[in-house]
A and B are shown apart, each in its own frame.
Chain A
Amino acid sequence: MSNWQWFHRLGSPRWFYYKTEGWVPWLAAVSGILLVLGTVWGLAFAPPDYQQGNSYRIIYLHVPAAFLALIGYYVMAVAGAVGMIWRMKMAFVVMKSAAPIGAALTFLSLVTGAIWGKPTWGTWWEWDARITSMLILLFLYLGIMALQAAFQSRDAADKASALLALIGTVNIPIIYKSVDWWHTLHQPATLKLTSAPTIHSSMLYPLLTMILAFYIFYALVLILYTRAEILRREGRTQWVIDLVKEEAKKP
């Protein structure tokens, strides 16, 4: 493929729709297997924490959900930027699809964090830097979903959402650094790019398994949401009309 051909193909909703059709079962199978493996490993076979006992087993959901909530924001903001700069309509489809997924993952990281906080810190909620900045992340995701629904014109909705997504990226480094910059109840990061993890390998491997599972699950769900949104936006094009007629023949 010549240097920029892939980029143009990626910009074609039809190409994306048909290309990803075959990926879905594989992504579903791999993420399903890894989720089950990581869950059983983390719940039953990883040793209990010497300080927190068994409540720490929530880490196997909390950290992957929070990871993907943040990465999902990059996905959404970068897609919004690409849509704005190159006027690529597929990028806006991806941006819109990333919002509800990111909101769900941010919600999960807040809820599992609250439930983990109760036996560990003695409180469900604390207005500290990490938790508050994650709550802002949730509102950013919800704000983009609301903006998408608020405009009659799809073009205006896409542009307004992309703008909010880009402004909201300011929040991301604040979330990362919040445990270092402010005094907080939240424990410091378990995994860092720049130094060795602060967790024993018997706990680390199931955690990495769950993070990988969530990554692949995220890819799967983003593709599913994007495919549905493509059908909605391209409903009057010939290839979708052909596809719909084809579907009608199926029992």
Chain B
Amino acid sequence: MSFQFDSLQDFIQMSGHGPFVWACYGITFAVLVYLVFSPLVRRRRLIRQHQAWLKQMDRVREVARQA
């Protein structure tokens, strides 16, 4: 098993198929990265929303106690 191209230039161009091949790898990895980060961001946002809700509930309870 060896490197299949004569030079880095050759590797990038892939005898004319370079743009097609590299575009596929670029798009695919962009989508894969999105798939990992989108639920992580969503989880953080949900936790922050829940925290805001809990604070609001505390305030409601405080007001109810004073009344």
**A104 close to B3 (CB less than 8 A):** no
Determine chain A's interface SS by DSSP, over half rule.
helix
* Cβ contacts A234-245/B at 8 Å (1 or 0 each): 010000110111
**B35 close to A104 (CB less than 8 A):** yes
Contact of B31 among A39, A53, A104, A245 (CB under 8 A): A104
Docked complex Cα distance between A153 and B63 (Å): 32
- Chain B residue contacts of A108, Cβ below 8 A: 27-28, 31
**A101 close to B54 (CB less than 8 A):** no
Docked complex Cα distance between A240 and B21 (Å): 45
A44-B5 contact given A104-B34, A108-B31, A112-B28, CB 8 Å threshold: yes
Interface residues of A in 102-120 (CB under 8 A from B): 104, 107-108, 111-112, 115-116, 118-119
**A111 close to B27 (CB less than 8 A):** yes
- Chain A residue contacts of B2, Cβ below 8 A: 45
Tell me, yes or no, whether B32 is within 8 Å of chain A by CB: yes
Interface residues of B in 12-34 (CB under 8 A from A): 14-18, 20-21, 23-25, 27-28, 31-32, 34
Tell me, yes or no, whether A89 is within 8 Å of chain B by CB: no
Tell me, yes or no, whether A48 is within 8 Å of chain B by CB: yes
Docked complex Cα distance between A111 and B40 (Å): 25
Tell me, yes or no, whether A193 is within 8 Å of chain B by CB: no
Contact of B4 among A46, A100, A101 (CB under 8 A): A46
**A43 close to B21 (CB less than 8 A):** yes
A210: shortest Cβ distance to chain B, in Å? 10
Tell me, yes or no, whether A217 is within 8 Å of chain B by CB: yes
Q: How many residues of A contact B (CB 8 A)?
A: 46
**A58 close to B35 (CB less than 8 A):** no
Tell me, yes or no, whether B60 is within 8 Å of chain A by CB: no
Tell me, yes or no, whether A171 is within 8 Å of chain B by CB: no
**A55 close to B20 (CB less than 8 A):** yes
In the complex, residue of chain A having the shortest beta-carbon distance to the beta carbon of B37: A224
Tell me, yes or no, whether A211 is within 8 Å of chain B by CB: no
**A221 close to B17 (CB less than 8 A):** no
Stretch in A143-151, A178-186, A225-233 with 4+ CB within 8 Å of B: A225-233
Contact of A235 among B11, B42, B50 (CB under 8 A): B50
- Chain B residue contacts of A248, Cβ below 8 A: 51
Contact of A231 among B3, B31, B46 (CB under 8 A): B46
**A55 close to B21 (CB less than 8 A):** yes
B5: shortest Cβ distance to chain A, in Å? 7
Task: Please give 17 more A-B residue pairs, beta carbons under 8 A apart, in addition to A116-B24, A119-B20, A243-B47.
Answer: A43-B21, A44-B3, A44-B5, A45-B3, A53-B14, A54-B14, A54-B17, A58-B21, A65-B28, A118-B20, A221-B35, A224-B40, A224-B43, A225-B39, A231-B43, A240-B50, A241-B54
Chain A to chain B: the 5 pairs with minimum beta-carbon distance, closest first = A54-B14, A224-B39, A55-B17, A244-B50, A54-B17
